[in-house]
Amino acid sequence: MAFVSKTYILNIGGFNLKLFSKSNVDISLDIGYSSFIEADDFADDFTEIEIIPSIPKELKDENALVFETNDDTKKLWHICSHEDGYKVIVFSPLQLDLIQQIAIINPQSKHWKIYTEFTGVNTVMPLSYPMGPLIMYYLTVANNAIMIHSSGIIDGEKGRLFSGFSGVGKSTMASIWQQAGYGLINDDRLMLTIENGRVMMYNTPMFYEAVPKKQQLHAIYLLKQTKENVITKLQGVDALTRLMAFCIQHAYDKQFIEHHLTTLFVISSTIPIYELGFKPDAEIIDFIRLHE
């Protein structure tokens, strides 16, 4: 199921995105965005994205390519320098080499554009995957924020985040806490923001419907698999660099890297970061509470 409107305000990670079109086109969003839609008059501070139906031929060149992501068989998304910032070319996940959208984005500006092909008679889907997550990434580098592959847990007033390499047990850890009655923010991708000296974690729109959640973060755990539960507090550059490994980051812009380092410095200076080896059972809950 998708939502259709002429204009939207989305609130993601506490940041407002206004989607609008000067054409009389219906803008459709995937179900995952539905709970993130705010009332039209909700926000006076937002980044606006003009949605332009159809992609001009002259925009499709890749002369100033700076970065590309492909898999074995097809192009996924390519980034080019552009006079107005970056040109983000997103290819269809379903049809080989078909350009799905092109975004013109400058994180220093609050006026972005997405050119997109029609998906229906008078309908466009400007944030269809992977454009949506790419827009969220640029939203983080435009603000005091970062996205991280992680699970977030709510324990009363406390927020805990679990991150680590794929397969290390993030979802398992989330499931253990959830089965014990604790709140789950998300078990895949979280946005961390710095607000008034506090680190906040937010869920972000996924492919399924989920209520937007927000929780102050009190500790970060970087997971590893061990036979027994073991915890080590990380310090200084070690904490920062190990946390950085699990963040979503684009490497083609020096300012983006500076932004990530600065944001992670503030986060690692504000809340403790632990390395946590765990065996997957409910004992880990008391173990964490005892040792943090």
Partner 1 sequence: MTLTEIFQKKSQFVTRKVGNEMVLVPLKDNIANMNEMFTMNEVASFIWESIDGRNNENVILTSVIEAFDIDLETAAADYDSFLESLSKMMA
- CA-to-CA distance for 124 and 54, rounded, in angstroms? 9
- The footprint of partner 1 on this chain (CB under 8 A) covers a number of residues equal to 20
Tokens representing 227?
């036979």
98 versus 251: smaller Cβ distance to partner 1: 251
Q: Which of 261, 272, 279, 292 binds partner 1 (CB under 8 A)?
A: 261
d(CA 187, CA 190): 8
Identity of the residue, 4 or 64, whose beta carbon is nearer to partner 1 in the bound complex? 64
SS3 283: helix
Quick check: 141 and 256 in contact, CB under 8 A?
yes
Please state the closest distance from residue 260 (CB atom) to partner 1, in A.
Answer: 9
Confirm if 95 and 3 have CB atoms less than 8 A apart: no
Dihedral (CA of 139, 145, 150, 151) sign: negative
Per CB under 8 A, the list member of 265, 279, 285, 287 interacting with partner 1 is 265
Contact between 62 and partner 1 per CB under 8 A: no
Of the candidate residues 195, 251, 280, 281, the single one contacting partner 1 (CB under 8 A): 251
In this structure, what token pair is assigned to residue 153?
């847990």
Stretch that binds partner 1, among 22-30, 153-161, 192-200, 236-244 (CB under 8 A): 236-244
Side-chain-facing half-sphere of 190: CA atoms under 13 Å: 28
Please, are residues 159 and 152 in contact by the beta-carbon 8 Å criterion? yes
Q: Which stretch binds partner 1 (CB under 8 A): 56-64, 102-110, 114-122, 258-266?
A: 258-266
Q: How many residues does the chain have?
A: 292
**φ, ψ (nearest 5 deg) of residue 85:** 130, -120
Among 3, 67, 129, 287, binds partner 1 (CB under 8 A): 67
252 binds partner 1 (CB under 8 A): yes
Closer to partner 1 by CB, 101 or 268: give it: 268
Is residue 207 part of the contact set for partner 1 (CB under 8 A)? no
What string marks each residue from 7 to 46 as x (binds partner 1 by CB under 8 A) or -? ----------------------------------------
Distance, CA of 292 to CA of 283 (rounded, Å): 15
* C-alpha–C-alpha distance, residues 223 and 214, integer Å: 22
Amino acid at 55: I
Q: How far apart are CA 137 and CA 221, in angstroms?
A: 22
The binder of partner 1 chosen from 5, 7, 95, 262 (CB under 8 A): 262
Interface segment toward partner 1; rule CB under 8 A; list 36-44, 204-212, 214-222, 243-251: 243-251
Give the one residue of 43, 66, 184, 206 binding partner 1; rule: CB under 8 A.
66
Chain residues binding partner 1 by CB under 8 A are 66-67, 236-238, 240-241, 244-245, 249, 251-254, 257-258, 261-262, 265, 268
